[in-house]
Chains A and B, each alone.
Chain A
């Protein structure tokens, strides 16, 4: 047993910064004067930028040479660094988005930013842990902060219901994950990924306890990434939570979930790939089908985006199912590109006001092109990108997961994927249709009546970044692709 060394602490410097930043905001929030509340936004952004710089500076030398710290419980590698950078950027954008959104919704409490930072710290631990318990700790830190944020609109019943539902189901999923971890520990005598990998090597193929443990792990991670059949919470929670929180869940917690999912299954359970691959293929297929088909029936844009986020989890799972270097890179690429376009779509939702409420019905987009042509145009971009039409980022994302599937000899999975991508175009295009091909309602009760767009500078900045991201990454994706491909896990 060694003591924690300075080198160990230095290695988790970005995590420590984010965590300390979160605590600082939490402490300052009640004492800071009303007029200076905005400073906490800038403080949080400063912390994120600093952590970004440090992580970026760490990443370069890590490519190809991961560094294990904390006696093998934690690792500093390019894979983790890629996810951390992505999560840091996403969190910064969410904070910018929330700045205006919290005011609009009358819940302008600076503690919000603290929860974002704390939840981010959890995610950063989650993507770098090499011990199942460390990963679990990160996952719980992330989730608990998210449970609170889901209920942040504390006078709204829907928000409270979302928080309660998310908390109960989330705890249940965590329990199942823990059970899986304990079974693995029982079978292999270790909770570290390396230990489990070595333990599995000695087991007979098709060992029932191992199979059960893997199944339970799939339940736990599947819940976090909203894969079918563990998606039940998604529509209600996405609809009820404040939109900036929904965006955070749909983008960041899904990305972190995938990061850990891929690391655990490729690194620790790589030896039992044949067994889990079939389970995940079933999961992946069901996710793509259910997400895309049920989204068609939605009338609330947040519920639609919830089912769309389920469907996208299915596409990202294709990369994990392929289970090779290209597949992993394609998961990373998919989540990064998905983050950009999905954040943009949610950002547009936060700007829409119907009377004193948030305009979260698809009907509220009716005639948006007449009311605000820029808001409608960026939403059009995000919708086409989510549908995967070139030259947007969504196309590159889909191209890569489908290439991964064909490369792994599963062309049928790619065919299934494209069939349901065509289905998805229907509901994404419906939003474009109501925005551009319908006139806004002029009398009470008609769709689009009394809807206005409230654009604050911070939200415009987020939209601009997302819209440019969707186009630039769609046309010049190479730097991001190279980053993802150089940052994949070392395959064993």
Chain B
């Protein structure tokens, strides 16, 4: 582990603290029986987690590609597995996105979760530990532990607190992801033997592997990451899971879990297996473009709001994988920013759907017409998120999608043209949705709805601010990425074998 600096000036165990803090909250809940206390504990835990994660950005050194806030403790001696955590420009924003969205999820579940709220909050907090852990892990086994551990709380979130068809959706989600992940486990073990008997992610990224091995490993990685992203044709669990999950589950699923797949491609597939990545680029790009168009096409046909957003996620995540695999700086940085954007925008959209579902108990577009009269604040937020999602200039997604398109244009004009078609389709289905929900004919039921209260506004406003902040001043968000992305390309170009 030479590629490391230890930020001893900052809090020495900051990342460990962030990983452990939610579990402390879980332990505290054991002492309180009632659900109200559990909700308060969850709020204060995730809130302080967010505040504590801010120093990651404040003390982050954007000039270096080195891992920062690193901590390494031996965990298992033989074979040597370490508890190694650290972040760089690739993982920084994903950690912050996670710590921002979890308290929002706690607040948005405040009134909507009425049964077994304590268990619900425990599941959310365990999720947060696992999600932060995934983005910080510098040891492959540690990464895998967090990656898989997340399935347990998510399975319960969907299956216990979900909608009518929740059991089916939960098991589908679990088995799909598990099947993919287990192949990743074998790939990790193979890498251990081929990459110099280590599970250190950075060391494994410097070793070189034969072409055939790379091909095998690439598809094993692909199985795990493509299911999670999800890429066409492995996306079928996503609409089910999204529709059935409670709002908080949908938000975390869309905003963080899908990013884990994309993060996997960026952290493992590209730097560790550069030859295979290059060789299979056409296949991945084709799947990405299919996902963009197919997701958008499916979204056009949906009458259920959650399904519509779920398919739009498939489409938008297609941009992310597209940007990564065109393998140039614009594409990758655009993809990274787009991951962040999708987390903010889609998270916001799912929150909006959750809010209206609480009021009308229907997610059908037809049942929720003309909300702008009765709920102006709600309609404003919904329109902002929808416009952001379709990539209106001035909002966050414009910057990300623009960068991705520039990157793909440099790779192939055809692909860029096809991807642009996806943006046009996004405008069609999102504006269609906004028109009917916000401005359509107001039916009797929706005319008497209460607008958002301050508590509900509090969940949406931070995301609205970020939509415009990233849209207007993207530089502070792009800056920390430059060094790490540049370094990733250096790693991909390596020829020599390092032990």
Contact = CB atoms under 8 A, between A and B. Distances in A.
Contacts of B58: none
A399 interface: yes
Contact of B183 (A391, A395, A415, A425): A415
A25 to B, nearest CB: 40
Given A415-B183, A418-B186, A395 B145 contact: yes
Interface string A103-130: 0000000000000000000000000000
B170 A437 contact: yes
A193 to B, nearest CB: 27
A422 interface: yes
Contacts of A403: 79, 189, 192
A436 B156 contact: yes
Interface stretch (B1-9, B159-167, B297-305, B398-406): B159-167
B14 interface: no
Nearest to B133: A391
B409 interface: no
A411 B77 contact: no
B160 A436 contact: yes
B159 A433 contact: yes
Given A411-B186, A418-B185, A429 B174 contact: yes
Nearest to B183: A418
Nearest to B155: A429
Interface stretch (A133-141, A345-353, A477-485): A477-485
A347 B189 CA distance: 34
Contacts, number: 81
Contacts of A406: 186, 189-190, 192-193
Interface in B193-218: 193
A421 B182 CA distance: 8
B152 interface: yes
B427 interface: no
A399 B141 contact: yes
A429 B178 CA distance: 12
Interface string A455-492: 00000000000000000000001100110010000000
B306 to A, nearest CB: 20
Given A389-B149, A406-B193, A481 B78 contact: yes
A366 to B, nearest CB: 12
Contacts of A395: 145, 148
A478 B77 contact: yes
Interface in B116-148: 119, 141, 144-146, 148
Nearest to A421: B182
> Which residue, A390, A478, A482, A485, has most C-beta atoms of chain B within 10 A?
A390
| Residue of B119, B185, B193 most packed against chain A (CB within 10 A) | B185
Given A389-B149, A422-B175, A436-B159, A407 B193 contact: yes
Interface in B53-78: 75-78
A426 interface: yes
Nearest to B180: A422
A402 interface: yes
A482 B75 CA distance: 12
B179 interface: yes
Contacts of A10: none
A132 interface: no
Interface in A205-254: none
B182 A433 contact: no
A391 B149 contact: yes
Contacts of B167: 433, 437
A373 B152 CA distance: 17
A481 B81 CA distance: 12
Contact of A478 (B75, B119, B193): B75
A25 B170 CA distance: 51
Nearest to A411: B190
Contacts of A425: 174-175, 178
A229 B355 CA distance: 57
A414 interface: yes
B160 A402 contact: no
Contact of A422 (B159, B182, B192): B182
B82 to A, nearest CB: 12
A399 to B, nearest CB: 7
Interface string A401-434: 0110011000100110011011001100100110
A261 interface: no
A52 interface: no
A74 interface: no
A389 B182 CA distance: 10
Interface string A315-352: 00000000000000000000000000000000000000
B171 A426 contact: yes
Nearest to B197: A407
Contacts of A399: 141, 185, 189
Interface of B: 75-79, 119, 141, 144-146, 148-149, 151-152, 155-156, 159-160, 166-167, 170-171, 174-175, 178-179, 182-183, 185-186, 189-190, 192-193
23 contacts: A373-B119, A389-B149, A390-B144, A390-B149, A406-B189, A411-B189, A414-B189, A418-B182, A418-B183, A418-B186, A419-B182, A421-B182, A422-B175, A425-B175, A426-B171, A436-B159, A436-B160, A437-B159, A437-B167, A437-B170, A477-B76, A478-B76, A478-B77
Instruction: List 9 tightest A-B contacts by C-beta distance, closest first.
Output: A418-B182, A390-B145, A422-B179, A406-B189, A437-B159, A414-B186, A390-B148, A390-B149, A422-B178
Given A384-B152, A395-B148, 7 more contacts: A373-B119, A402-B186, A406-B189, A411-B186, A418-B183, A432-B155, A433-B167
